[in-house]
């Protein structure tokens, strides 16, 4: 008997086809003489309805075992469905129960559970409609990202997770050590003796693959990273994780305008791909989570992003007829409320803000001729705020060295990064996208903990 996935059966299954499915029972309805179960195998939001007649061998015993959460294999024939809600259903000929799920203790009974509750059962929550839809869309986003870059000849490069550079200034670092924490070697001055540690020096979990991506771009022209990054920031917000995935393209022979063009084309591509490949899941989000999700996706695909400079953004914010909690003035960083005002209220579409004050941006961003601003850009999205941060990189050795010193860092620590400017330097640019922020934006999910299968946040790493 042919084994088939439920998504495929619902899409193309024909009456009279004999087939076999495997999955988990979502619901059971017992009637006189027959019963229905809904079986879901994760391939689609919709489950397949299975009809079991009482003349099935061992009918009574099997039905008793088929509670919500039980795993089954059903062989049978597809028949046109009499009931509403589905075109076809599977008439069971044999049913095998792999594992039962005790209805007294199985926590996912047929009712709506809060996301807070579902986070406490991280090992089971993927079996719900919401998380099924989220993780299918997450998968589609990842596929779209690779497709976008691969079609354009970008090399996917794997940058290290353990790094020795602590100087990117992107956030708090997690230390990586091989020491027995109960017995840490000390120097004569009682400092930690890193010379004796695994790598012979302090090491950390990476906060970004950018510096290494720049190395690779200086050989392959166009590259991207797509992997996990870590920040020990103790910020308990709905937009921050301690472990999250980042996408970081880096392009040689490219300036900030090219960078913005790529970022815009990139977001459009990902949205288009997800709408095309996950229409049912996206419809679900629009109905259940946020009724602006589909309109927003269309908005992104069909409209040019609004581009303006930081200086222009500040003057618009100063004129705004809303009261902000944080002050607005040239030189201060934009807060989330300002970003949301620009994207959500003023322009009602994604906004690219560029040319930020040098003082509030990282050392590697290219200094403009005014010597006050750097060629940086952020893409601000309605509901989420900053979704992409990028810049043209400083390719001039002398300027870069000055910027490093000005930020209180040591050029020696970045000797290899500076070497890229000594040998065959070129204008280059790139950006970073928080992958979970993208999935949040795509699905309308309010909390970033609910778009990654196993969220890592302060005080929480259970599953």
Q: Give residues in contact with ligand ATP (CB under 6 A).
A: 170-171, 231, 233, 239-241, 244, 246, 386-389, 432-434, 436-437, 448
Let me know: does 137 contact 451? Beta carbons within 8 Å: no
Tell me how far, at minimum, the Cβ of 428 lies from ligand ATP, in Å: 17
Tell me how far, at minimum, the Cβ of 378 lies from ligand ATP, in Å: 7
Given the complex with ligand ATP, which of 278 and 362 has the nearer CB atom? 362
The residue whose Cβ lies closest to ligand ATP is 434
Q: Compute the distance between CA of residue 156 and CA of residue 248 in angstroms, rounded to an integer.
A: 10
Tell me how far, at minimum, the Cβ of 402 lies from ligand ATP, in Å: 22
List own/partner pairs for 360-363 with CB under 8 A and 24 or more apart.
360/331, 360/332, 360/333, 361/391, 362/168, 362/169, 362/170, 362/391, 363/169, 363/394, 363/400, 363/403, 363/404, 363/406, 363/407, 363/409
Please state, in angstroms and as integers, the Cα–Cα distance from residue 15 to each residue in 87, 89, 166, 218, following that order.
Answer: 10, 9, 62, 58
Tell me how far, at minimum, the Cβ of 233 lies from ligand ATP, in Å: 6
Tell me how far, at minimum, the Cβ of 171 lies from ligand ATP, in Å: 6
Given the complex with ligand ATP, which of 1 and 265 has the nearer CB atom? 265
Please state, in angstroms and as integers, the Cα–Cα distance from residue 285 to each residue in 138, 263, 281, following that order.
Answer: 13, 25, 6
Let me know: does 137 contact 439? Beta carbons within 8 Å: yes
Burial class (CB in 10 A: 0-12, 13-18, 19+), 288: middle
Q: For residue 58, what are the contacts with CB-CB under 8 A and spacing of at least 6?
A: none
Given the complex with ligand ATP, which of 196 and 236 has the nearer CB atom? 236
Given the complex with ligand ATP, which of 218 and 241 has the nearer CB atom? 241
Tell me how far, at minimum, the Cβ of 406 lies from ligand ATP, in Å: 19
Given the complex with ligand ATP, which of 155 and 170 has the nearer CB atom? 170
Q: Structure tokens of 436?
A: 């979970």
Given the complex with ligand ATP, which of 92 and 448 has the nearer CB atom? 448
Given the complex with ligand ATP, which of 24 and 435 has the nearer CB atom? 435
Tell me how far, at minimum, the Cβ of 68 lies from ligand ATP, in Å: 33
């Amino acid at each position: 008997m042919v084994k088939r996935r439920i998504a495929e059966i619902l899409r193309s299954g024909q009456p009279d086809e004999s087939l076999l499915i495997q999955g988990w029972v979502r619901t059971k309805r017992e009637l006189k003489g027959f019963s229905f179960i809904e079986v879901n195998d994760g391939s689609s939001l919709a489950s397949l309805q299975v009809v079991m007649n009482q003349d099935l061998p061992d009918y009574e015993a099997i039905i008793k075992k088929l509670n919500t959460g039980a795993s089954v294999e059903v062989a049978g024939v597809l028949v046109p469905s009499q009931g509403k809600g589905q075109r076809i259903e599977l008439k069971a000929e044999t049913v095998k129960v792999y594992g039962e799920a005790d209805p007294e203790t199985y926590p996912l009974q047929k009712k709506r559970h809060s996301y807070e509750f579902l986070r406490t059962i991280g090992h089971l929550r993927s079996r719900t409609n919401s998380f099924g839809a989220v993780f299918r869309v997450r998968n589609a986003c990842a596929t779209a990202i690779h497709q976008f870059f691969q079609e354009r000849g970008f090399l996917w490069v794997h940058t290290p997770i353990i790094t020795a550079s602590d100087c990117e200034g992107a956030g708090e670092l997690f230390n990586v050590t091989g020491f027995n924490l109960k017995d840490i070697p000390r120097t004569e001055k009682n400092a930690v003796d890193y010379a004796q540690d695994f790598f012979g020096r302090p090491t950390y979990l990476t906060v970004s693959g950018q510096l290494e991506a720049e190395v690779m771009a200086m050989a392959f022209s166009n590259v991207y990273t797509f992997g996990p990054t870590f920040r020990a920031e103790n910020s308990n917000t709905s937009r921050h994780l301690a472990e999250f995935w980042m996408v970081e393209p880096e392009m040689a022979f490219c300036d900030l305008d090219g960078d913005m063009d790529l970022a815009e084309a990139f977001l459009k591509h990902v949205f288009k791909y997800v709408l095309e490949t996950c229409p049912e899941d996206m419809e679900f989000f629009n109905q259940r989570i946020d009724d602006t999700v589909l309109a927003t996706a269309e908005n992104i695909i069909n409209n040019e992003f609004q581009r303006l400079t930081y200086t222009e953004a500040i003057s618009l914010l100063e004129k705004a007829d809303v009261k902000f909690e944080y002050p607005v003035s040239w030189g201060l960083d934009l807060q989330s409320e300002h970003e949301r005002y620009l994207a959500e209220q003023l322009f009602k579409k994604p906004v690219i803000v560029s040319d930020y004050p040098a003082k509030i941006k990282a050392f590697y961003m290219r200094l403009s001729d005014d010597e006050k601003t750097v060629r940086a850009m952020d893409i601000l999205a309605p509901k989420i705020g900053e979704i992409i941060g990028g810049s043209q990189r400083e390719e001039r050795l002398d300027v870069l060295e000055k910027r490093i010193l000005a930020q209180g860092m040591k050029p020696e620590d970045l000797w290899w990064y500076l070497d890229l400017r000594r040998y065959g330097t070129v204008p280059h640019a790139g950006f970073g996208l928080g992958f979970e922020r993208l999935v949040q934006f795509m699905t309308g999910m309010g909390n970033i903990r609910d778009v990654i299968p196993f969220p890592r946040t302060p005080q929480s790493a259970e599953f």
